[in-house]
Amino acid sequence: MSFFDQLQAATATERETLFSVPVIQDALAGKVSLDSYIAFLTQAYYHVRHTVPLLMASGARLPARLEWLRQAVCEYIEEEYGHEQWILGDIAACGGDRDAVRDGQPSQAIELMVSFLYDTIARGNPVGLFGMVNVLEGTSIALASQAAGTIQERLGLPKEAFSYLFSHGALDIGHMQTYRGLMDRLDNEEDQAAVIHASKVVYRLYTEMFRGLPRSNEVQHAAA
């Protein structure tokens, strides 16, 4: 079994737990309130703004034997740079306060997730950051491909309110194909264990973030 497949098998329980969260079930069914969508974007901003700094930190600490992975990190950085600004634009297009979000604080789950990733890079194994990639890109593909269009229609929001989800749906499908290839090149057991461990932790904290999002039995319309 390839390492990518081992990773998916090792984190199957955590992935199933995430996708069983009621608000994600709502999203996949296109039944999300405006408040919930803005809350999701808000928490996304608080971790996406760290994506490039985390990648830079990880790339700087990779050993020489993983130079091929450092090259991939450089490519990720180029593709991910500035995406947090897309999210602020989406929030504004929803009628939210982008400045308040920019200057605000993340939920505890997101704060812990980001802190864990920085600590993994600094004190543990910098390859562990790729556990985050496994979780976030896989989740964004599902939300973008199965939910974004329906949510847009139900809420009556402009396309400009979905630049993050729509763009990441397309980007991350390609990213996951690249990611599979990268993970299948990892042949060091410590590196593999670091990716699996980080993926499990990020799944757990990302699940807690979704559990904290507001739900509504009646979907709000953007014009309401």
Residue (of 136, 112, 118) closest to 15 by Cα position: 136
- Residue 197's pLDDT is what? 98
Torsion 73-112-16-192 (CA) sign? positive
The answer to the question of residue 73 being in a domain is yes
Q: What is the CATH number of the domain that holds 66?
A: 1.20.910.10
Distance CA 82, CA 210 (A): 24
Q: Is residue 50 part of a domain?
A: yes
> What residues contact 176, with CB distance under 8 A and at least 6 apart?
137, 138, 141
Q: What percent of the chain has pLDDT over 90?
A: 70
Residue 220 covered by a domain: no
Furthest CA-CA distance within the chain: 57
| pLDDT tens, residue by residue, 96-142 | 999 999 999 999 999 999 999 999 999 999 999 999 999 988 887 77
Question: Is residue 26 a part of any domain in this protein?
Answer: no
Range of the structural domain that residue 44 is part of:
33-211
The verdict on residue 25 lying in a domain is: no
- Number of structural domains the chain divides into: 1
DSSP 8-state secondary structure symbol assigned to residue 206: H
Tell me, yes or no, whether 14 lies in a domain: no
pLDDT of 99: 96
Helix (H, G, I), strand (E, B) or coil at 129: helix
Residue 4 Cα to chain centre, angstroms: 18
Does some domain include residue 87?
Answer: yes
What is the pLDDT averaged over residues 12-22? 95
